Structure 1
Amino acid sequence: MKITIVAGARPNFIKIAPIIKAIQKKQSVNNKLSFRLVHTGQHYDKNLSDTFFEELNIPHPNSNLEVKSGSQAQQTAAIMVAFEQELIENPCDLVLVVGDVNSTMACAIVAKKMNLKVTHVEAGIRSGDMTMPEEINRIVTDSITDYFFTTSTWAGENLMKYGAEASNIHFVGNVMIDTLYQNLDRISAPNFWNEFQLEKGNYIILTLHRPSNVDEEHSLIDLLKGIDKMVGDKKVIFPIHPRTKAILGEQKLELKNILMVDPQGYLNFMFLIKNSFAVITDSGGISEETTVLGIPCFTLRTTTERPETITIGTNNLIGISIENLEKVFGEFLQNGPRKAGIPELWDGKASERIIDILLSKK
C-alpha cells in the first residue's frame, strides 16, 4: 500500500507526526507499506513550519508544493494544480489528509477526481459556523472521503447525518494527543523563561488568530487591554501570530501584564501550556491539549467543533466579548477549576489504530 500524506499548516504537522511513526513501526513487519510526505507550503514561515518538522522528527518532505499565501481561492487553486502534478508523477493507492485547512480540502478534491481513495483524519467535527473557512473545508472533505477517522463518537454521528456509511467511520481517538504523549518528556522552557521570571502557575498563555478577534484593530486593542487589566498580578505570555502582529502594526499599547513573544516551536509551547495557570485562546486544537494536561482553558469563540473539551475537559466557551471573559474568568478565580477528565480513546494510540484499520481495508 502506497500512502501519500498531506500536510500544509502547523496543526497538520502535529497530527501527521505520530501517523508517520506508526507507519514506520509497521514497516518493520510489512515491507509493502510505504508513504510519501507532501508539504503544500501553506505555512511557510520557519516558526510555523520547519521548526515542527525538526522538533517532532518528521522526515523531510518528499515534495514541497510551495504555494505560500493568497486569498482562499488563490491558495486552494494553487494547491490543487500543484498536487495534481504531484500525484501524476508519484502515483499512490491512497491520499491521507488531516484536519481542516485549505490543503486538506484541496488535496482531497484532487485525489478523488483522480479516482484515489481518500482518508480523512479528524473527520466529522463541526462548529455549525459557516463563516469559518475551516467549516467549509470540513464539510467538503467529508463529502468525498472514503475512510473516516474520528476523535469522538459525536463526530461519527455528524458523519452519519451527512450520509456516510457506518462501516467506513472509525472512532480511533486523537492523533494530536498521540504527539503530546510522545513528546512530554522532551518539552523544554523557552529562552525567555528566566528573563520574564516565569514559574509554574504564575502566568497565563494567550493565543489569538481568528478574524473575529484580530481583524479589526480597535476591537483587538480593546480585547488586549481588557485581558491585561483582568488578570491581576499574573503575567500573560502572548506568542503573536504574524497576521495579528501586522494588524497591530506600530501601536504603542502600554500593556502592563501582556508580554508579546515570537511564535513558539512545539516543545517550548507545550512546556508553556503545561506549566501555565490558565490559557485564553481562540484555537480549537489548544483546547484539546489543555484538556489532557488539566489546564483551565477559556475559548474566545461563539462555537466549537470540539464539544468534548467542554463537556468532559477543561475548556470554557466564552464568546468574543471581553465582558463575558471577565465574568467567567472571575468565577474561575473565585471557585477554582471545575472537575474535568480526558475523553475516551485520547490515550496516545490513535495513530496505531488508524494504520491497522487502513491495512485491513486493502
Structure 2
Amino acid sequence: MPSPAAPPNASDPAPAGARAGQPVILFVDDEPQSCKWFARTFADEFNVLTATGVDEALALLREHGPSVALLVTDYRMPQRNGLDLLLAVQRDFKHLVRLLATAYAEKDVAIAAINEGHVFRILEKPLDLVQTRLILREAMTLFRAQTMERALLENRMLAMRETLGFLAHELNTPLATVRGFVSAITDRYQAPADQAATQTQEEAARVACFSEREPGEVMAALAGAQRSALYCQSLVSAFVRSARDAYPGSIDQPVTASNLVQALLKEFPFEREEHSWVSCEVAVDFALPGQRDLLYLVLSTLTKNALLALQEQPEPRLRIVLGREPGPEGRARPWIRFIDNGHGIAPEILAKLTREPVTTRAQSGGNGMGLMFCRRVVQSLGGSIELSSELGHGATVSLYFKP
C-alpha cells in the first residue's frame, strides 16, 4: 500500500482539505495504515475524519457530530467492535448514514449490523476503490435526502406548534365572550314565585323567567353567544383542515382574495354594529397561494385587532382593500390591506410588531402572538407583511403575496 500523507485526527479542528459546509465522512479502523489510505484516497471528493477505535470515534462525533454525514466502521477491532459503535451511533447520532466494512463474511455479523446497527451497506475488505466510491456517493445522496426530509418535518412540526399556540390564544376571546353572555343571562334569571291561582304546578315548571333592563337583552345575549361559539368552531375547523393539508401529497384548494374576504365578513362574530364598520374594496382580484384555512385565520386575526382598535372611535371604519402594485422585476405584486381609523400604534411598538411578541393591548391580555403567526404564515407562502401607522391616525396592515 503506498505511503500517504497523514490524515486528520481527533485533535484537528476540521478535516484536512475540508470544504466549508460540506458533510464529513468518519472512517473508523484499528489499523492506522487503513485510515491513512482511506483519507488519502477519498479526500479528493469528500471531507474525511478518521479514528482508530470506538472511543476515539465517539469523541470525534461529540465534537463534530452535526457536520458528519457518513460513518464507515470496521467490525473487528480490539476492546469494542464496530457493532458497538453502530449501536451507540444509532442511539445518539441518528442522522448518520452507517456503513460497515469487514473482512469477515459471517452471516450473524451481517444480520446484526443490519437489524441492530441499521447499516446502509456492508463493504467487504479489502475495499474496492471504484465500488466504495460509488457506495459513498449513494450514501451521501441518502443523507441529503434524509436531511431535507427531517428539515421539512421539523418545519411542519414547528408550524403546527405555532398554530396550536395561536389557536389557543384566539379561542380565548370568543370563549370569554360566551361565558360573559351566559353569566349575564344567569344574572337575569328569576326564580319562580308562588304559583298563580290560574297556573298548575306543571305549567309553572315549564316557564323560565328572566328580567331585562332593556327589551330584547336576553335574546341578544343568546345570539351573541351563538355567534362566538360558531366562530370558535370555524377556527377549530380551519386548524383541523390546515393540519390535514400539511401532509405530503395534499392539494391546495385555490381561492380568490375576494371570496376569502367575503367568507370572513359572513362568518366573523361581529358584535352589535361592528359589521357596519367594515367595507371591502376590490380594485383587482387575484388567486391566493397556499392553504385557504391558514389564510382565513390570518384575515380573522387582523380583523379582530382592527375592531379592538376602533372601539373608542366616534366614527369607526375598517377598509379591506384588494389590489396590485409594481413589484420586483416589473411583475405586479398582489396585496390585501386592512386600513382602520383607530388610535394608531406607538412608534416603539410599531418597530417591533411582527418581529417579536409585543402588543398594544397588554393590559387586556394581549400577547402579540397573533401578528407573529400572521407573519410566519405569509412568509411561508413567499410573501411579506408590512405595518404603517401614525399615532392618533389609524393603522394599515399590508399582506403582500408572490407575483
TM-score range, shorter chain: under 0.3
Q: TM-score, normalised by structure 1?
A: 0.20
User: Is the radius of gyration larger for structure 1 or structure 2?
Assistant: 2
Q: Which has the higher contact order (CA 8 A, sep 6+)?
A: 1
TM (norm. structure 2) is 0.19
